[in-house]
Amino acid sequence: MQLLIKGADVFAPEALGRKDILISNGKILAIEENINESGLIGPVEVVDGQGKLAIPGLVDTHQHFIGGGGEGGYRTRTPELTLTQQTLNGVTTALGLLGTDSLSRHVESLYAKTKAFNEEGITAVMITGAYHLPSPTITGSVQRDIAFIDPVIGVKLAVSDHRGPFVTRDELGHLVSEVRVASLIANKKGIITVHTGAGKACLDQVFDILEVSDYQPERFVPTHINRPDTWESAVRLAKMGAYIDGTGILHDDGGAGKITCADATRMSIEEGIESRFTFSSDAGGSMPKWNENRTRIIGMGVGTPDSLLIEVRRGVEKGLTLTQMLAPVTINAAHQIGLEDRKGQLLPGFDGDVVLLDQDSLQLTDTIAKGQWMVASGEAIVKGTFE
């Protein structure tokens, strides 16, 4: 079945104006002023795009597919994500990872959930490892995980966090080398997602290894950097060629010392690093609230995929263009994880990942992933074994 979206206002993410979009066999075939369905061969489902904005499916580069948390005891473990949590919030491509807990949660389970999301109809990749070194893996080696397991594109590591390791220069250098060689062999992006805590060193360990080695800054993707104590260091790294990643927040109050991703997007533009800035949801991950000494958890929240569109709307309300707010969660995010040849833009030949928003409220009405309906008129379409 071919899908023909008629008369939507297209943001690819750049503004293209009112266009028709033709999708067939999971790919975008054409984006034109007018596509006449009578001239198409085979069955065609025509979708009325009047009054709607067509944007690329969102690319969320930091999610805890199998849940996270546990820092406050087993009762604070968060649940795994579901397909409808993704699609109802416009996420059609996501990257899964582990966090603090690599004791009761395992990379093998993350792999299984990554495969499940792909079978259900969205696109999912993952990174091996967790906070600590040596990294937990499936094959016993970070290098082998990246080289031989299809959805694995990198590794996770924490720095400057009281829950993470103290990483020596030799340890970090060895990890970067493993990731680089494996990525070359497997033709993958090869990234180290760096959980950046609020500790004293910030990103100093990353800068140190870059100063004494020939490794490329683009190997590193520091996350949770939309905080006043981290932003300046992250900008410095972005200007060296890295992608830096903020974490979406649900409430426009800075979120316990955080800078909203709407404001961080504006700041990235002012710094001239807008093409190197992304923001993600941390969906499924815990949002712990610590006491003053950061020794005991006094509250716990959970990240959700809806923070991406919340931040997009927040930025537009603050005067940024829709294109500016979409870039970090579409084209930039696709580049960050090495899927820029088929994700993050509405272009002929790209995957048929299209989200329709109400043009007035910017609320999601429809989600199409690889040419298949996932959400229609605000209602999730459940696919797969369990219906």
Active centre residues (catalytic) = 282
Omega within 30 of 0 (cis) for the link into 305: no
CA atoms within 13 A on the CB side of 351: 24
Give every CB contact of residue 181 below 8 A, 6+ residues apart in sequence: 143
Is-contact 21 47, C-beta < 8 A? no
- Tell me the C-alpha distance between 124 and 61, whole Å: 10
CA atoms within 13 A on the CB side of 175: 31
- Tell me the C-alpha distance between 184 and 147, whole Å: 9
- Tell me the C-alpha distance between 314 and 326, whole Å: 12
Residues β-bridged to residue 220: 192
3-class DSSP assignment, residue 372: strand
Is-contact 86 117, C-beta < 8 A? yes
Is-contact 127 191, C-beta < 8 A? yes
